Amino acid sequence: MCERQGPTARLAPTRPSEDAHIDLNATVAANIGPIVIVLIVAVVVLLLLVLWLTRQLSQLRKRVVGLTRGEDGDLGDVLGAHLDRVYELGREVERLGTRTNRLESTTPRAFQRVGLVRFNPFEDTGGNQSFALALPDADGNGWVLSSLHARTGTRVYAKSISGGRSDGALSDEESAAIKQAMA
């Protein structure tokens, strides 16, 4: 401690006594076992962390390769090219949608069903050279075509049908062709 020496006494800094001196070598030597165990645990934890980070990096690389499809170059450029392709495909889908709508609006009027009956109308000709062909659309509107083959020639007749029925008289074969087409 400091003592006063006259009117201009100063305080001198105190110094630790030699009794409070810590022997670091003795402290480390006494606790070397627990220190080594703590360091080994820290190394194992750090190794596990490195393995986990390596796995995460590998998965990230796979995802980047999946996004870029293996193309080299700047990731932004590759993804920009892919985005351009997506927009192009979107425009193509719109064009196909318009085309599909147009086809769907005209398809009901197209011939969608076919009925064919072959027959022999005359006994003096061989084989079933004659036929009745029915071609209706989705609503049963269309026509039936009949061909009668004889030795002297072939005659062809066409009759319109509406809703699966004809305004005029139908032969049995023409009716059978319409029934077959509408089934």
Of 24 and 20, the structure prediction assigns the larger pLDDT to: 24
pLDDT of residue 9: 53
The answer to whether the CB of 1 falls within 8 A of the CB of 15 is: no
pLDDT of residue 17: 56
Gyration radius from the chain CA atoms: 50
Instruction: Decide: residue 129, CB within 10 A, 0-12 exposed, 13-18 middle, 19+ buried.
Output: middle
pLDDT of residue 1: 46
- Tell me which range, 18-32, 68-82, 91-105, 114-128, is most confidently predicted by mean pLDDT: 91-105
Which of 148, 152, 121 has the alpha carbon at shortest distance from 133?
148
| Cα 182 to Cα 166: distance, rounded to the nearest angstrom | 13
| Domain spans, the chain | 26-70, 71-106, 115-182
pLDDT, tens digit, 9 for 90 and up, residues 76-109? 888 888 899 999 999 999 999 999 999 988 888 8
User: Distance of alpha carbon 114 from its chain centroid, rounded?
Assistant: 38
Of 69 and 51, the structure prediction assigns the larger pLDDT to: 51
Binned at pLDDT 50, 70 and 90, residue 19 comes out as: low
CA distance readout (Å), 170 to 72, 119, 159: 73, 15, 8
| 27, β-bridge pairs | none
Binned at pLDDT 50, 70 and 90, residue 145 comes out as: very high
Q: Which residues contact 118 (CB under 8 A, 6 or more apart)?
A: 128, 129, 130, 131
Joined tokens for residue 22 = 């810590």
Binned at pLDDT 50, 70 and 90, residue 56 comes out as: very high
Q: Which residues contact 137 (CB under 8 A, 6 or more apart)?
A: 108, 109, 110, 111, 112, 113
pLDDT of residue 80: 85
